[in-house]
Amino acid sequence: MAYTQPAFAQEKRGVIPHAPLLRTAVPDTANQEVAVYHVEYEPGGTNPRHLHPAAITFHILSGTGIWQEEGKPPVTLRAGDSLLVPAGTTHAHWNPSATEKLRFLEFIVAEKDKGRSIPKPLKD
């Protein structure tokens, strides 16, 4: 599977670390939590192949980003766009701009401490 993202992107580059805006238990569940993150990618920032054990929804606040699920063509998202990536789906996303930051929200509902990403090598 060939991704169209920059080939050098074997690690997160140009991604501003982020703490959750919200992280709380889901009422009336045994061990579920919801987390919301505000993420910024510098121009050219990338998050290479990875997956999440839970479904994740992305909502673009500003800039333009490209998301690509394994086996599918890339999708360009702009301010106001949202995308759901199903649990366990290998994907990558990046900021193609040379000048603008990409800002988006991530929404994750998962088993406690199980929603963050798991890196995947370029070839399994």
For 2-6, 60-64, 82-86, which range has the lowest pLDDT when averaged over its residues? 2-6
Mean pLDDT of 19-28: 88
pLDDT at 4 over 50: no
Q: What is the CATH number of domain 33-119?
A: 2.60.120.10
Q: Where are the domains of the chain?
A: 33-119
> What DSSP assignment string belongs to the chain?
----S-TT-SS-EEEE---EEEEEEPTT-SSEEEEEEEEEEEEEEEEEEEE-SS-EEEEEEESEEEEEETTS--EEEETT-EEEE-TT--EEEE---SS--EEEEEEEEEETT--S-EE--S--
Mean pLDDT of 98-102: 96
Mean pLDDT of 87-98: 94
- How does pLDDT run across 46-83, given as a tens digit for each residue? 998 888 888 999 999 999 999 999 999 999 999 999 99
